[in-house]
Amino acid sequence: MKIAALFLVSLALLAQHVQDEDKKKRNPAIGNPQAIAEGEKMFNSGCAGCHGPGGQGGRGPNLAFGRVMWHTLTDEQTFQLIRDGVPNAGMPPSSMPEEKLWQLAAYVKSLREPAAEAPLQGNADLGKEIFWGKGRCQGCHSIRGSGGKLGPDLSNVGGTRPAGYIRMAIVEPGSQGSKGFEKASITLKAGKKLDGVIKNRNNYSLQLLDAKGDLHLLLVKDIAAMEIAKDSMMPALGKALSSEELDGLVAYLGKQTVRPVELGRN
Ligand code: HEC
Ligand code: HEC
């Protein structure tokens, strides 16, 4: 019985392996960092006019992760859609050679794929060192229970965010929206001034989490003035990092996932 079960498992693994190999042969651009970079260049010149820089949306729909996808396309469907366009909806067909179309499809896929499932070039060990060391990221972010609470928990950031999103969040804090982490300056009627991130706000009260991690429960009737900043609480630390260090951070964060990646594949 046990042997039969083992045999079945290894058969399934073998089938999966053959399938993966098969896929690679058919569209070698998918998941290949160089092909993705080529696709990005073509996208910027031929597609960004409608889909926005980085696929963030414009005249054409947003192609990047960050909004809910109503339907996701398979690699083949993405390829076909780019080739054939959607003429009656305003997306023109493309007469590029197959190889180029696959590079575009690989780039479009990389915009939506969780970082944990994407091939990342950076040195994750270097990134780990920076995260817990000179980057001071751990002052505001926690991973699996260690670290600060001012910023979002990053334990599953690789399982829920594409690599491009993680990179943008580091280089241009707040560019992805600060929902749930609005930075505020509050002056109390008693004269005291407090800075921090607003949590659990309602008509009568709110909680302000300050940089030290202390949570202040404030009653709206005690507040004299409240200023909500447009910029992010997160400093633009990414600007002080070399590109190697930045790639490393993206690779390290991209690996942060709370479930085994294999189970998440489809
Ligand atoms: C003239 C504007 C325009 C240009 C140029 C354009 N698109 Fe589109 N694209 C659209 C519109 C509009 C849609 C939505 C079609 C629909 O409603 O089904 C779309 C849809 C898509 C979709 C499907 C989105 C989804 O998830 O359903 C992909 C992928 C896509 N475009 C990729 C590209 C790529 C790659 C290029 C460059 C080769 C490109 N587009 C050039 C306008 C454009
Ligand atoms: C002073 C606090 C603070 C520090 C230090 C900080 N962050 Fe942030 N971070 C935030 C806040 C707050 C957000 C929420 C979004 C926003 O407001 O930009 C955020 C968002 C993020 C996100 C996006 C998470 C998501 O799922 O949307 C990533 C990734 C990130 N930070 C990485 C880093 C890295 C890497 C460092 C170190 C180089 C760092 N942060 C340092 C406060 C901080």
Q: What angle do CA 251, 255, 259 make, to 5 degrees?
A: 165
Nearest CA to ligand 1 atom 5: 47
What is the mean predicted confidence (pLDDT) over 185-189?
95
Superfamily (CATH H level) for 25-112: Cytochrome c-like domain (1.10.760.10)
Q: Which atom of ligand 2 is nearest to the CA of 249?
A: 35
What is the mean predicted confidence (pLDDT) over 44-73?
79
CA of 6 to the centre of ligand 2 (A): 44
Helices (H), 143-242: 157-160, 163-171
Angle between helices 33-46 and 98-112 (to 10 degrees): 100
Q: What CATH number was assigned to the domain covering residues 124-176+234-264?
A: 1.10.760.10
What is the mean predicted confidence (pLDDT) over 113-140?
91
Residue 64: the pLDDT is 81
Q: What angle do CA 233, 55, 264 make, to 5 degrees?
A: 80
Tell me the pLDDT band of 67, cut-offs 50, 70 and 90.
Answer: very low
CA of 28 to the centre of ligand 2 (A): 34
Give residues (CB < 6 A) around ligand 2.
Answer: 131, 135-137, 139-141, 150-152, 157, 161, 166, 169-170, 173-174, 176, 178, 181, 197, 232-235, 237, 249, 253
Q: What CATH number was assigned to the domain covering residues 183-228?
A: 2.30.30.100
Nearest CA to ligand 2 atom 39: 137
CA of 38 to the centre of ligand 1 (A): 18
Identical fold, 25-112 and 124-176+234-264: yes
DSSP state of 153: P
CA of 161 to the centre of ligand 2 (A): 13
Residue 137 scores a pLDDT above 50: yes
So where are the chain's domains?
25-112, 124-176+234-264, 183-228
Residue 143 scores a pLDDT above 90: yes
Tens of pLDDT, residue by residue over 236-258, are 888 889 999 999 999 999 999 98
Which ligand is in closest contact with the Cα of 163? 2
